[in-house]
Amino acid sequence: MRPPGSRVVGGMRAWLLIVSLLLSACARPTPAVAPPIAAGTSSPAPQVVERVDGSAQPLFAAAQVEGVFVLRSLTTGEQIVTDAALAGTGELPASTFKIPNALIGLERGVLAGADATLKWDGVERAGPPAWNRDHSLASALRDSTVWFFQEVARRVGPAAMHASLRAFAYGNADIGGGIDRFWLQGALRISPREQVEFISRLHRRELPVAREHMALVEHMLTRAQAPGWSWRGKTGLTAHEGRAVGWLVGLAERDGTTWAYALLLRAPEAEEERLVPVRAELTRALLIHYGALPAEAGR
């Protein structure tokens, strides 16, 4: 993961918002009306019914990226994908893996809670200056601090890590490539559809870990919120085999309805840094386009 360190260039956020609003006025699906599902309920999940929708392609074109967006209503089970083939393509999860890594660290007793702190080893690392200090779980998740979660994975150990990923049904659950590298440059692969399934189970408290651990990690993913809506998510970014891969996965809630989503972007490796601002701005525009966030969330 090479986390956010760049600024939005050339008014990209405003441009994507304008395109999103224009598309939404013409083609946005009307969210189904249904009783809200409270966070963490154990009621049966609705059957997932997927449809391919191309109405958001102008947003990808405006951002000049190849990618796919998967959006699932946890109320109705409707799942929208913008590219059926790419939605099923496995990629390295990069720092989106910090979500299961945090859950496993909490469940295995490596981390005692949001305030659990690991001491910085004093090694200056390439990346945001905020990495180079002691971190709690909450601050490490917020700042996407790679060394913190590498140390968590080492303390969990290969056997427990592999067993947990299999229990989560997390992608291919392959930890080949090193206990502190397998999600960055190793063998682990997960598709956008699988990301959405994992996030859906997190929200419904269906993963095989303590409910309080799922609730805590979900809360720490909050990016923005206001009365009537919230946006949670975790970014990821890596490069391998000549290609840059960018992610943003999480949850959006509006007026009592919750959606799980995953954005996957791919670009030539030389354009890796360009994906840093695009992930959040494109995801925001897509969530507005499909009605999972209100227009004011783009301001």
Question: pLDDT per position in the chain (299 positions), as tens?
Answer: 444 443 444 455 555 555 554 555 444 443 333 333 335 555 788 999 999 999 999 999 999 999 999 999 999 999 999 999 999 999 999 999 999 999 999 999 999 999 999 999 999 988 889 999 999 999 999 999 999 999 999 999 999 999 999 999 999 999 999 999 999 999 999 999 999 999 999 999 999 999 999 999 999 999 999 999 999 999 999 998 899 999 999 999 999 999 999 999 999 999 999 999 999 999 999 999 999 999 998 76
| Token reading at 224 | 């923005």
* Residues annotated as part of the active site: 95
The verdict on 78 and 213 lying in the same domain is yes
The SS3 assignment for 237 reads: strand
The verdict on 223 and 294 lying in the same domain is yes
Pick from 157, 188, 219: which residue ends a domain?
188
The verdict on 250 and 287 lying in the same domain is yes
pTM for the model stands at 0.87
Identify whether the C-beta of residue 80 lies closer than 8 Å to the C-beta of residue 51. yes
What is the per-residue burial (b if ≥16 Cβ within 10 Å, else e) of 94-128?
Answer: bbbbbbbbbbbbbbbebbeebebebebeeeeeebe
The verdict on 110 and 181 lying in the same domain is yes
The verdict on 140 and 255 lying in the same domain is no
User: In the chain, what are the helix, strand and coil shares in percent, each to the nearest 5?
Assistant: 40, 20, 40
The verdict on 231 and 251 lying in the same domain is yes
The count of structural domains within the chain is 2
The verdict on 246 and 297 lying in the same domain is yes
The verdict on 198 and 297 lying in the same domain is yes
d(CA 14, CA 19): 9
Residue 293 lies in a domain: yes
Name residue, tokens 């074109």: 61
Pick from 128, 157, 188: which residue ends a domain?
188
The β-bridge partners of 136 are 117
Residue 183 lies in a domain: yes
The verdict on 172 and 267 lying in the same domain is no
Residue 73 lies in a domain: yes
Residue 41 lies in a domain: no
The verdict on 16 and 87 lying in the same domain is yes
CATH number at residue 203: 3.40.710.10
Residue 1 lies in a domain: no
Cα angle value 70/207/198 (rounded, 5°): 15
| Token reading at 131 | 């990495």
d(CA 149, CA 127): 15
The verdict on 58 and 199 lying in the same domain is yes
Pick from 188, 216, 248: which residue ends a domain?
188
The verdict on 108 and 227 lying in the same domain is no
* Sign of the CA dihedral running 39, 93, 66, 279: positive
**Domain residues for 235?**
10-32+46-91+191-299
d(CA 213, CA 235): 20
